[in-house]
Chains A and B, each alone.
Chain A
Amino acid sequence: SQKIEQNSEALNIQEGKTATLTCNYTNYSPAYLQWYRQDPGRGPVFLLLIRENEKEKRKERLKVTFDTTLKQSLFHITASQPADSATYLCALYQGGKLIFGQGTELSVKP
């Protein structure tokens, strides 16, 4: 069956460290993958898109990698700040639709 998996357990890290979030998928062949940020009670906000022929994408303190062989994307936040605390969702594009993972909650402690 098709599945997208993100770490269900919350990730707690210290301010200034690098946060790494994982998105694994099975039985999909996405043309691209996206990462969104969601704050409690609010709609997701787009962060980054990476295509299947791209290995890595960066935007300020954010970096995304996409390994189609491993069927995995990693999302990194360097020099993390308490304001980065949120739930981060990955989403695959396939068949005209975006399919979302359940999200990983990140908590950055000062």
Chain B
Amino acid sequence: EAQVTQNPRYLITVTGKKLTVTCSQNMNHEYMSWYRQDPGLGLRQIYYSMNVEVTDKGDVPEGYKVSRKEKRNFPLILESPSPNQTSLYFCASSPGQGVKTQYFGPGTRLLVL
């Protein structure tokens, strides 16, 4: 089944404890992206990647890192999480290097205490 998977789906952590949210797609898509969704603010893009080894900042990149070493994986790294990073996170992928139809993962709900 063609899909985008994210792990973990739910995570509670404490301020400053490094964490990684994994994202994987099995559709051979070039484009991948991370979003966060907050009430009243909608979906905001954190980082995106047009292809392997190519990443770029979205609208809210502060406090996040990404890497794209393989086409299928695009992990999101929070080196030192803070409470304002409590949010619902979505990974998405899209065929081609330009973003067209995006296929979203199921989401990761993160709570930083």
A100-B42, A102-B42, A103-B42 known; A43-B105 Cβ under 8 A: yes
**A96 to B101 alpha-carbon distance, docked (Å):** 13
A43 (CB) vs chain B CBs: closest residue:
B104
Task: Assess the A97–B99 pair: CB atoms within 8 A.
Answer: yes
What are 26 A-B pairs with beta-carbon distances under 8 A? A36-B102, A41-B107, A42-B107, A43-B4, A43-B90, A43-B92, A43-B105, A43-B106, A43-B107, A44-B104, A45-B104, A46-B101, A49-B101, A93-B98, A93-B99, A93-B100, A96-B48, A96-B50, A96-B98, A97-B45, A97-B48, A98-B45, A98-B99, A98-B102, A100-B42, A102-B42
Task: Assess the A46–B103 pair: CB atoms within 8 A.
Answer: yes
**A46 to B100 alpha-carbon distance, docked (Å):** 10
B104 partner residues in chain A, CB cutoff 8 A: 43-45
Give residues in B with beta carbon < 8 Å to A: 4, 33, 35, 40-45, 48, 50, 56, 58-59, 90, 92, 98-107
B4 partner residues in chain A, CB cutoff 8 A: 43
Q: Does any Cβ of B come within 8 Å of A34's Cβ?
A: yes
**B44 nearest CB across to chain A (Å):** 8
